[in-house]
Structures are given as structure tokens and as C-alpha cells.
Structure 1
Amino acid sequence: MINRKLKTCVTLGSCCLLGAFNHAHADDAVIELGGYVKLDALLSNYADGDPGAGTIGRDFYIPGTVPVGGESESARTDFHMKETRLFIKGSRDIDGGDTITSYVEFDLLTGSDGDERISNSYKPRVRHAFVKYNNWLAGQTWTTFQNVSALAENLDFVGPAEGTVFGRQAMVRYTSGNWQFAAENPETTVTTAGGRVATDDGVMPDLVARYNFSTGRADLVVAAIARQLRYEDTAANIDSNETSVGISFSGKVGVGDANDIRFMLTSGTGLGRYLGLNTANGAYLNGDNELEAIDSTAGFVSYRHFWNEKWRSNITLSGFSADQPVGYAGTETSQSFHLNLLYSPVAPITTGVEFMTATREVNSGAEGTLNRLQFSAKYAF
């Protein structure tokens, strides 16, 4: 038997946001279709250089893309729908009362395909693709080292990007009560004299242990990671390994009737791509062709306040610091401040405006500043 809900059309200004939510039942299987449509309009001013046309940092905030040491440029305006996403979820009850769940999700961000000249056509990219059975998960989803529920509510895709653990990748994860243990895909990013190298030389998977717990009105997470950083290039006489370890503490704490505080603090050696959207690399290659891990610490705090049932605001502070090697290019510090006002006339629709200012300093002493005003309209279906 197949049940379908009627298609709905919501008009925001001159935009018609069209969605359909379908449930298909085949014996004991259920398929769900959902996602959201989102329009983003960004007015960005770069005080210290030109990011260049098509730079991914013009679609959402990426700390490492903020230009430094250049001349002030005039503002840039960008409209896009790339954060729009679609998911397909399937579940099936099997003998013994167990359930198998699958989940696949796509959006249009980060791809180099498409342009703004005529059709603005962009290829979908896979965000999630996994299967869950009892306590096991296999496939690609959020890294176990990240606490998604602690993320700030920002119009920007990530928000306080330099202050958060953020990543999706293939893994095998086991959950037992409050504990989670995972073996995840390894990848090492290395700073060399010629720039960043993604080595793809890992042998050992990245290992994560996580404990989720609640106390009072607080939902908290402690996560630890251990990984092998590896770079092998026989032609360049490079064959080196380094150890990486890190810990993250994060959570969401209720305040008053509906408000909350969200936070994350992460520190470690060789965290690299796990922290701040790879603001710093995991290690650098020294003069003896050996890897040395880069220490980094980052965090954010965000307060969400409901003015009434339809209006709310979020204020967020975020920061990042890395102990970059002398003589190599790299970001040493990054900070950002975010303030927004959001309006939901009905539950599926969110519109709003957000102001962000961010600064970045590299180890040469050069600095850069980004100021951005963002308007968004989202319809979840």
C-alpha cells in the first residue's frame, strides 16, 4: 500500500518553495522522503584581499579562506540555493523485533560543477549514506568525535566554524548505552614548503570513543580520538608516522522556559581536518622529512533566546588557535562573532537575518577580516 500526501507550495516573496513528503509502505518496509529548500543571500566585505570568483568561502564561512595581508575590496553579493537538501530514509522490521534502518542524504554545496552565468546548475553531493542494525552503524555520517546537537543555530551553513569539530566520513560504529566506539576513515593533511598535502597514506583507522550523558537540563558529550598521521612518498624519500590524540567536551544546557546555551571545547595534537574545517593541518614536514604534529585548541559558546513563539535570536562567539611551525604558512588564530534574528511564521518555515564578523591571522603576522550580512529563507518538508 502506498500513501502520498499532497504537494505543498509556500511562497516567500517571488520564490515558490515546492516540497512533497511521501511515505511508501511495502509489507513491513517504510520509505520516507524529506529535506528542505533554502535560499541564502550574502553581502560580504573582505578588508584584506580578494577571495576570487567561485571561492567556496563565498557560499559559507570557512576560516581558512578569509584573505589576509591584501588590499580592501568592495562588497560582494551572492545568492544561492546550494544548501538545499534531500534525504531518503528506509526502515524495515525483521523477525525478532529488530529494525534495519538506512539513510541517504544529498545537497549541492562544495562542488566545482556549475556556474552563475545562465542556469546555476550544480551536481548533488553525498552527505550521508549508512545502514543501522541493532547497535551497529556502517556507512558515512557525522564523525563520532562531533556532537551535532551542540551546533549553534546560525543561518550560515556551519556558523562558528573555527570553534567546532565538523566532519562526515565512512565508518563502523558500535553503540552500547551511553557509549559509542568507532573506527573511521583515516586521512592526513600535512603542511609542506609547497603548501597543503592530503597524503591518503593511512593504514590504521581513526579510533573514537564517546560518552553521552545528561544531568539536570544539560545534555553533554565527552569524546576522545586517537589517530595515526602518515606520509609516504618514496620518490621524495619520505616515510614518516606521527601520533595524534584529542579530546572534546560539548553540550546543550537549557535556560529558562525555552532558551539554551550550546558550547564546545576541543584540544589536541594533530587534530588537523577534524577541527575548524581543517583550519590547521594535522602535521608539518620538517627539514629531515619527518612529520611533527601541530597542536590546536578551539571552542565556541552560543546562547539562543526565544522572544516569543515565532521570534528567536542566537549570539555566538568562536575561537581557534594553533601552534604553527616557524617558517611555514598557516593560520595561527581565528575568531568570529555571529548575531541573528530568526522568524518562523509556521513551524516548517524559517526566515531571518544574520551578521557575522571574523578575523584570521597567519604565522607571518598578516591578518584578514570578513564582515558578512546574510538573509535566508528555508522551508523544511
Structure 2
Amino acid sequence: MQSNKLGMALRAAAAMTVAGMASQAGAVNFDANGWDSSIYGYASLKASYDIDENAASSTRSFNYEAINVGAAENNEATGYFGADAFQSRIGVKTTSPEGVTFNIEGDFRGGGGGTLRLRHAYGSYNGVLAGQTWSNFTSFVGNTSTLDFDSLPGLAGYQARTPQLRYTTGALSVSAEQPMNSVEGAGAAAKDGMPALTARFEDSSGGLSYSAAVLAQQLGYDTGTTDDSAFGFATFVAGKIALSDMITIQGTLSFTDGASNYLYRSGVASAYVAPNGDVETISGYGGSLGAGFNLGNGRSINIGYGMTEVDLDDGVADGVIAATTSETISAVMANYQWTPVKNVMMGVEYQYGMREVQNGDDGDASRLLFAAQYNF
């Protein structure tokens, strides 16, 4: 019984790994002529105070690219406050009497914030899903709960949604998805020659949840007179273990070559066009490690670390990639979350981020983040 409870808790934590991911536990449910439907979402406020940089993006998430490096650190902006409610969302989910599920969901982060953005729009039946939802090359089981909507660098896979056709049987799922690529130096001639193909295995046993996935894709360019392409791949493993009813440890490891856009928050292209016209892939790796402490009475403490590193030396030597491009991103965070009543969460988080560019210049920044979220 205890192991079953722990397994259920881990699966629930995976579904809500980021504080911004609303659970449907508080959804408004109703039944109409055999259609089991729910309306769900939340209203959210995020506020940030950037201590020694102006490093906030929409939803007040940490923008690592805004960290000044080298001599520019001496001229860094300090003491910036901001708040917004762009993370707020609403969704509708319904299942027909025949077992066909439909889900449409949006939030207000579109256009930099304040306009409706489509998050999910898909249908599924008998293991077949078609539409836009979380990439199959994604897992949340190894994520540490953060108040930052974009969370830590180095998490498992794409950590976002993409149009796809997916088939799931048991713990195994495979998909063909819209590729998420960029090729430095290709400009408008960049192209994807095939869908991104993925396979993921995700399961749990007792107090352990785990996931592993692979992705393969083709990327390149075609100007009409000159063209080239290359294959890229990515892989990750992720896991979470409950040491007790109070303590969980979780982590992720990732490696990519020609798929840096799937190395979460690395911020660089997947490949570049060399002076001889060849497409050269960019490799990288990343990971995260964290712990969660359930203090009871709706209170918890979470600590985590994440990082990514890419190899840009050849691209810089070829004169295609700037030496001021980020090569290493890392961050640590700690937060306190409190649920005073059902469907209400409040919290505060300290974040420390670091950025190093290819030429060796580096910089860091500290900030505070506050969150209040009201689920329905």
C-alpha cells in the first residue's frame, strides 16, 4: 500500500513538476449526454526583483541571455522589479461516450505577453493522438518543482508543445513531430527534410519513476543552387525516487548532436553552415539535480541545480558563430511553497544564474521570484 501511494505521488508530481502546470484536480466537471467534460485553469501572478541584472522575461522567468559577461558586468543594471499575470490559462477537456478525448488550452504569454497563446489542441483515441501537445521527447518525472515558469536549464527534452502524431501502448510512446530546429548561417534557406522521430519509455515502480527517450531528425538548407543536410539526434534519461513520505530526489541527463534546440534552455542553434557549404552539427549536454521536502500542512521546500554546455569551438573558428555566444548556462534555485487552502498556492524563490560565452567571458545574476496561483 505504501509503495502504491508513493508511486501515485510521484506521477502526480511529474504532472505538476513546475508550479505553473495546473492540475485538473480542481477543474469544473460536468456530464452532458454521456460527454465527460471539464473546464480548468488558473489565475496567476508572478513578481520578480532582479538584484543585480535586468534579467526577467515574460511571466518573470529568468532570462539567462540577459546576464552581462566580462567587462559589461561593471555596467550591469540593478534593482529591477516587475509583475505580470501572463501565465494565467484556461482549458477545456472532454471525452465522448465512445472514448475519444479532445483538449484545447491556452494561456496569455503570446506575443511577449498579454495575448492568447495556443498550448494544447489535440484529439486522442485508443492510443493514437493527433494535434499539438507536449512533445513526446519530453519528461517531467526528473524535474524539481520551481516557481519559474521556464524552470531550470538542462531538463529532459524539449519541455514544450509541438504538432505531432503519436501512438502510445503501455509505457512506450512513439511520434512523428514538427521539428524544432535552427541552422546558423542558413537564413531563410534553412529547411527540415523530415519530421522529428521520437520514442520514449516512461514508467514507475514503487517509489521510483523513470523515463528515457531518443530523437532523430534531418536538418539543412537549400538556396536553390546550393544545399546540404545532416542528421541530428538527442537522448535523455530522467528519474525521481521517494526516499520517504517527506523527501524526493530527482534528476535528468541529456546529450544532443545536431539537436541543440532540444537541449533545454541551451539557447543555441542545432547546426551551422560552414564556409565550404557543409552543414556542421553542434553537440551539447546538460542535466539537473534536485530535492523536494514535504513539510506537511501544504508546505514544501525545493532546491535544484541545472546546466547545459555546448561545443561552439568549430563554429567560431569557421567564422560563422560569434565568440560572444553562450556556451555554458547554469542555475541554482531554492523555493518555499505554501498551499493555505485547496487550489491556492503561494511561494517565494531565490535564483542564481551563470552564463559563460565561447571566448571565456562570464557573468552571474541573482533574483527573487514571488508567485500566487488560484486553480479552478
1:127 corresponds to: 119
Q: 74, 87, 90: which one pairs with 1:86? A: 90
Range 104-113 or range 213-222, more displaced = 104-113
Q: Is the 8 A contact 1:63 1:276 kept in 2?
A: no
Partner-residue secondary structure (3-state), 2:191: coil
CA distance in 1, matches of 2:146, 2:188: 30
Instruction: State the alpha-carbon separation in 2 of the partners of residues 186 and 376 from structure 1.
Output: 33
Q: Which residue number in structure 1 is paired with residue 105 of structure 2?
A: 105
Give the number of the structure with larger relative contact order, counting CA–CA contacts within 8 Å between residues 6 or more apart: 2
Structure 2 residue 189 is matched with structure 1 residue 233: no
Q: Which has the higher helix share?
A: 2
Verify the 8 A CA contact 2:154 2:252 in the aligned structure 1: no
* Contact 1:141/1:168, CA 8 A, preserved across alignment: yes
Query: Structure 1 residue 170 and structure 2 residue 147: aligned?
Result: no
Contact 1:187/1:200 (<8 A) preserved: no
- What does residue 66 of structure 1 align with? 67
Query: Is 2:265–2:308's contact at 8 Å kept on the other side of the alignment?
Result: no
TM-aligned CA deviation for residue 349 of structure 1 = 1.0
Distance 1:372 1:332 in 2: 22
Kept in 2, the 8 Å contact 1:238–1:290? The answer is: no
Q: Indicate yes or no: 2:188 matched with 1:188.
A: no
Number of equivalenced pairs:
340
Q: Are residues 57 and 104 of structure 1, via their aligned partners in 2, closer, same or farther at CA, if it must alter by over 3 Å?
A: closer
For the pair 1:244 / 2:248, whether they are aligned, the reply is no
Amino acid at match of 1:268: T
Q: In the aligned structure 2, how far is the partner of 1:123 from the partner of 1:200?
A: 29
For 2:346, the aligned partner's letter is T
Aligned partners of 1:127 and 1:40: how far apart in 2? 19
Structure having the higher strand fraction is 1
Q: Distance in 2 between matches of 1:161 and 1:375?
A: 20
Q: Which runs of 5+ in 1 are unaligned?
A: 1-19, 114-121
Q: Aligned partners of 1:199, 1:368: CA distance in 2, in Å? A: 34
- Paired with 1:312 and 1:198, the residues of 2 have a C-alpha distance of 48
Superposed, which structure 2 residues align to 1:200-279 within 5 Å? 201-234=191-224, 237-279=225-267
Note the alpha carbon deviations across 1:36-73, whole angstroms, 9 max, x for none.
Answer: 111111001345xx66xxx7367212434434342221
TM superposition shift of 1:372 = 1.0
Aligned to 1:310: 298
By how many angstroms is 1:225 displaced? 0.6
SS in 1 for 2:192: coil
SS in 1 for 2:261: helix
1:5 aligned residue:
none
Residue of 140, 145, 149 corresponding to 1:153: 145
- Stretch deviating more after TM superposition (207-216 or 55-64): 55-64
1:343, 1:350 within 8 Å by CA — same for their partners in 2?
yes
Q: Is 2:329–2:356's contact at 8 Å kept on the other side of the alignment?
A: yes
Residues 162, 73 of structure 1: alpha-carbon distance in 2 compared, 3 angstrom cutoff: farther
C-alpha offsets along residues 259-303 of structure 1, whole Å, 9 cap, x if unaligned?
212211000201221112352210011111221110010010110
Specify the alignment match of 1:15 in structure 2: none
Distance 1:201 1:187, change over 3 A: farther
* Distance change (3 Å), C-alpha of 1:143 and 1:92: same
Does the alignment pair 1:283 with 2:283? no
Q: Structure 2: which 5+ runs fail to align?
A: 1-25
Q: Following the alignment from structure 1 to structure 2, what is the Cα–Cα distance between the partners of residues 168 and 199? A: 25
Q: What residue identity is the alignment partner of 2:332? A: F
CA distance in 2, matches of 1:232, 1:44: 43
Cα distance in 2 for residues equivalent to 1:84 and 1:142: 18
Q: Show the counterpart of 1:9.
A: none
Q: What does residue 23 of structure 1 align with?
A: 29
Q: For the residues of structure 1 that align with 2:59 and 2:67, how far apart are their CA atoms?
A: 10
Would the aligned equivalents of 1:187 and 1:198 in 2 still touch at CA under 8 Å? no
**TM-score, length-normalised on structure 1?**
0.84
Q: CA RMSD in A?
A: 2.1
Tell me the CA shift for residue 27 of structure 1: 1.1
Asked whether 1:179 is paired with 2:172, we answer yes
**Offset at 1:164?**
4.1
The answer as to whether partners of 2:271 and 2:281 remain within 8 angstroms in 1 is: yes
- Per-residue CA deviations over 1:202-258 (Å, capped at 9, x if unaligned) read 121000011123233111011011111122223xx5411111112100022112113
3-state SS in 2 of match to 1:157: coil
Give the deviation of 1:163 after TM superposition.
4.0
Local SS of the residue matching 1:249 = strand
1:43/1:291 CA distance change after superposition, 3 Å: same
Whole-angstrom distance in 2 between the partners of 1:200 and 1:191:
9
Map Cα deviations across residues 186-212 of structure 1 (whole Å, 9 max, x no partner): 2421223xxx85766212100001112
In 2, are the aligned partners of 1:188 and 1:231 still within 8 Å (CA)? no
1:36 paired residue among 42, 46, 53 = 42
